[in-house]
Structures are given as C-alpha cells and as structure tokens.
Amino acid sequence: MPRHDEITQLLARQGDAAEELRRAALRVKREIVGARVFLRGLIEFSNVCRCDCLYCGIRKSNAKVTRYTLDDDEILAGVQFAADHGYGAVVLQSGERNDDAFTDRVARLVEVIKHRFPALGVTLSCGEESIGVYRRWRAAGADRYLLRIESTNPVLFHKIHDTASRYELRKQALDDLRSAGFTVGSGVMIGIPGQTLDDLAHDLEFFRDMDLDMIGMGPYLAHGDTPMGQAHPDTGKEKCQRLELALNMIALTRLMLRDVNIAAATSLQAIAPLDGRQRGILAGANVIMPNVGETAHRKDYLLYDHKPGTDENADATRQSLEKSLREIGEEIAYFESGTPLHYTRRTTR
Ligand code: SF4
C-alpha cells in the first residue's frame, strides 16, 4: 500500500507516466472482474431537494429549475427497459427529502421492483436519511446505496455545502448504511476550487479505511446558476486538468482497493464527449450508469452544465456504449447484477 506522500506523487503524474499508472490499474481490473463492464440503468426520479449544496444545479434555491417527480408508471417503465435489455441493476436517484411521504414511497417502489424483477439489483441514491429509514429501505429489498461525501477534508466539505450539511453527519450516514446491511458506495468531486493533491490522497485513504464497496467520482464541473459556478466558472484548461486527475484517481482507487466496483462517471464524458467513459474504463473503472429514465425530464436534472445524454434515448445509449466498449476490448456483462467482490468478501469474512 503506498504511503501518503507516494499517493500524492502518483496523483500528480502526467503524460506517459500517467498512462503507465492507468495501464497498471487496468491490469488489476481485468484480473479481478475480467474485461467486462457492468451496466446500471439510472432513473433520476425526482429533482426536488431540501438541500442547497453550493455546486449543484438542482439545489433548492435555484428557482430556474422546473421541479418534477416521476410517477410510478414512469419509473417502472425505466426499470422494465433495464430488465428487458439485460442491465444487471437499476439506480434510483433523487434529490434529498426526509418527509414520510417520500420515504414511504421509496420503500413501496423498491418492494414493487423487487417483486416484479427479483433478479435485478436495486441501488438507491437519495441522500442522507436516518438509520431507521435506511433499515426500512434495505428490508424492502434495496441492495446498494450511493452516498457521495464529495470531499473528506471537513473544511472543504463545509465550504461547498450549505450550513445544514455536516461532514460528521455524512460520515455517520455511511456507517449507518453499512450497519443496515447495504453494499455501500461513496465518492468525491475532483478539482473542486481550493482542493489539493493532499486532499485527494486523503480521500483515497478514506475510501480504504471506510472499507467501501463501490466508488463513484468524477471531475467537478461548474453550473452557472450556482454560487460556486458563478464564483469559479470553468476554463477549458481546468476541465482538461480535472479529467486527467480524475483518471489518476480512478487508477489509484483500483490499485489500492482492488476488488471494489468503480463507476466511469458521466462527467468524464462531459469533458471528453468522444471517449471520456472509455478512458475511465481503461483507467480501471468497471461500471457505467446510462440513463434509462424517460428523456423529457433529463434537462431538469442538471447537476452541472453541459451534462451529456440529456436527449439520447436509452436504446441509442446502450448501442453506442456497446460499440465503444468493444473498441477498447471490453464487453458488457449482460444480465449480471455485478455485486462488488469486496462486498461478498467483507460480509463472509
Ligand atoms: S448535491 Fe444532492 S443533496 Fe445537494 S443540492 Fe444537489 S441533489 Fe440536493
């Protein structure tokens, strides 16, 4: 396991040295999960959120956003598409709400999905909740939960969140998810204004020390209708630097954590539209989450500007993904739920 100062040096690699790092990560990825990529069908079922994260396009203070919540039929149509097309799992993602109507509805939806599609893995990504709610959602049948911490530097965390968000609570929520029995995922934004390589090295050590099963992270991208986006608009050069750093983060995550699932985030594709996700896979990622929700509302779920795929239909996305993965010697693991080996190992230790 590299020391902290070595991690920082590896993160700083550029050019051929960076490519060497990513090739080493790809070798580990292929040794652990093969030349295969798991698909999760993403359904962004509501953009209503009680939080005001300073970087996020759907923060509650952004009055320009048209708020929506998909009805059950719309959600189940996305799940049906995923099941019919061999996706091993679905991800139900939304803004954060703690009211009973919301938490009851999520529990009920999970039960319906698991009843109709028992082989399909169900991941939730609905923010911070009490351990009681997490236990309920897990009992309803949800398998996995994604809750990004965004930065493990508490000062930076508080700088990019509204005052209601607390670093300690986010960390506690990750512990609670694990206690509730979930396969637990987290991740960070890479290239947040003010973030250092030392911060990112601590993020990697956090992933390892928290014994996480899944990692989802990508480059920070500004949204023009947010306080952070207005204070720090992106330049093309910065975006390219963040992409390279994100690929090094993926590679180091694979080399340090080995048997976890790592997502090649859509934000990679936002910076490199032609091959961003492929480059993520070639740096050691093994999961892609194409949007299978209906296209009408995707433009209302923009966490950052120029998010790709907002007008692409789910079938076209799957076909182009299959082709682009074949080009780099990878194939889609159809009809496999893709439980991270790390989860299987840690729960049978
Ligand atoms: S990042 Fe998540 S919790 Fe924060 S405002 Fe956006 S949707 Fe809400």
For residue 187, the tally of other CB atoms under 10 A from its CB is 23
Query: What is the pTM assigned to this prediction?
Result: 0.95
Distance 57 CA to ligand 1 centre (A): 8
The domain spanning residue 258 has which CATH number?
A: 3.20.20.70
Query: Is it the case that residue 307 has pLDDT exceeding 70?
Result: no
Ligand 1 atom at minimal distance to the Cα of residue 303: 6
The pLDDT tens digits for 45-62 are: 999 999 999 999 999 999
**pLDDT value at residue 316:** 74
**110 in ligand 1 pocket by Cβ < 6 Å?**
no
**pLDDT value at residue 305:** 72
Beta-bridge partner residues of 185:
146, 214
Ligand 1 atom at minimal distance to the Cα of residue 58: 6
Residues 8 and 50: their CA atoms lie apart, in Å, by 36
Distance 243 CA to ligand 1 centre (A): 22
Query: Is it the case that residue 299 has pLDDT exceeding 80?
Result: no
Residue type, 248: N
Task: For residue 229, give Cα distances in angstroms to 53, 233, 241, 273, 306.
Answer: 11, 5, 17, 21, 13
The pLDDT tens digits for 159-188 are: 999 987 899 999 999 999 999 999 999 999
**pLDDT value at residue 272:** 92
The pLDDT tens digits for 8-30 are: 999 999 999 999 999 999 999 99
Structure tokens at 115: 């009843």
Phi and psi (nearest 5°) for 54?
A: -70, -15
The pLDDT tens digits for 98-150 are: 999 999 999 999 999 999 999 999 999 999 999 999 999 999 999 999 999 99
Q: For residue 252, what are the domain limits?
A: 4-347
Q: Are 193 and 199 in contact (CB under 8 A)?
A: no
Angle at 290 between CA 333 and CA 248, to 5 degrees: 80
Residues 64 and 145: their CA atoms lie apart, in Å, by 29
Query: Is it the case that residue 190 has pLDDT exceeding 70?
Result: yes
Structure tokens at 284: 């050691």
Ligand 1 atom at minimal distance to the Cα of residue 128: 3
Mutate to test the pocket of ligand 1, among 44, 58, 97 (most ligand atoms within 8 A of CB): 58
Query: What pLDDT band is residue 315 in, cutting at 50, 70 and 90?
Result: confident
Domain count, the chain: 1
Three-state DSSP state, 337: coil
**49 in ligand 1 pocket by Cβ < 6 Å?**
yes
**pLDDT value at residue 1:** 85
